[in-house]
Amino acid sequence: MAEFGKITAPSLKEICVQAILSRILSGELKPGDRLPAERDLAEAMGISRSSVNHGIMELENMGFLTITPRKGTVVNDYRSHPTPQSLAAVMRYGSVGMEQSLFSDLMATRLLIEGESARLACSNIYDTTLEKMKKLVEELALEPEDPTDLLYRFHYLLTAASGNSVYSMIYRGFETVLCTLIRQHYSMRAEDIKESVHLHRQLLDTIAAKEEQRAQELACRIITQGITVLRERYD
């Protein structure tokens, strides 16, 4: 008989951290903004002042806030002064309500990594990896209700096929936020799936033919399709 592990609910401190963090990453709280007093936050959230205090200290350790005694707590510019903890928080961010400049930076990173991965894959991809990617595209052609997992796995394999392990580690690290954005793209524009299948097939054919520049262009074109749709939220 299968054994089940203990289920733990997030603590009030963790809920406080996520509530404030989501407002920072969405741009609702901007660098330089001052947080309300801890007693006011505790009252507004319906939790103890101790939970708020510990949550704010954790966010300071992560690089998102600065606490100045008798002056209050201010939001940091985490993009200009990132920490390993702030990067990890962005990687785990599972909301589509991402601040516009953060979204733009993330998409620019995808273009660089996946464009270069497609170029390198022309020389480094294994036949077994190419076959796995082809099968994912054929599943995508069946137009599943939610194509997120298929597309994420395809592009993860693309970064792995580059031969650069850091590219695939970076892509894997952003799994939560990338899956959230992929799902949002196709919920906004489901009809894009047909064009996406066509572009992914072209990309695989180009990689197999070892056409580096064309492979790089197609990888970027696939990502740009999603960027164009998701930018509509900000417009």
- What is the spatial distance between Cα 18 and Cα 51, in angstroms, rounded to a whole number? 12
- What is the spatial distance between Cα 54 and Cα 25, in angstroms, rounded to a whole number? 20
> In CATH, which of 4.10.490.10, 3.30.70.1350, 1.20.120.530, 3.10.20.340 is domain 93-233?
1.20.120.530
How would you classify the pairing of strands 65-68 and 72-75? Answer: antiparallel
Cβ 110 vs Cβ 204: under 8 Å? no
When the pLDDT of each residue in the chain is averaged and rounded to a whole number, the result is: 93
Give the three-class secondary structure for 81: coil
The reported pLDDT for the residue numbered 55 is 95
The answer, yes or no, to whether residue 1 has pLDDT greater than 60, is no
- What is the spatial distance between Cα 114 and Cα 85, in angstroms, rounded to a whole number? 24
- What is the spatial distance between Cα 114 and Cα 154, in angstroms, rounded to a whole number? 11
174-216 per-position pLDDT tens digit: 999 999 999 999 999 999 999 999 999 999 999 999 999 999 9
12-80 and 93-233 share one fold: no
The reported pLDDT for the residue numbered 233 is 83
40-88 per-position pLDDT tens digit: 999 999 999 999 999 999 999 999 999 998 889 999 999 888 888 998 8
Instruction: Specify the range with the lowest mean pLDDT, choosing from 80-94, 124-138, 164-178.
Output: 80-94
Residues 114-142: what's their mean pLDDT? 98
pLDDT > 70 fraction of the chain, expressed in percent and rounded: 97
Residue 32 region, left (φ>0) first, then alpha (ψ -120 to 50), else beta?
A: left
Residues 143-156: what's their mean pLDDT? 97
The answer, yes or no, to whether residue 7 has pLDDT greater than 70, is no
Residues 6+ apart with CB under 8 A from 103: 230, 234
- What is the spatial distance between Cα 20 and Cα 1, in angstroms, rounded to a whole number? 42
DSSP lists the bridge partners of residue 73 as 67
pTM of the predicted structure, to 2 decimals: 0.85
The reported pLDDT for the residue numbered 2 is 59
The reported pLDDT for the residue numbered 10 is 81
- What is the spatial distance between Cα 191 and Cα 197, in angstroms, rounded to a whole number? 11
Domain assignments of the chain as residue spans, ordered by start: 12-80, 93-233
Q: Which CATH architecture has domain 12-80?
A: Orthogonal Bundle (1.10)
Residues 6+ apart with CB under 8 A from 170: 109, 113, 159
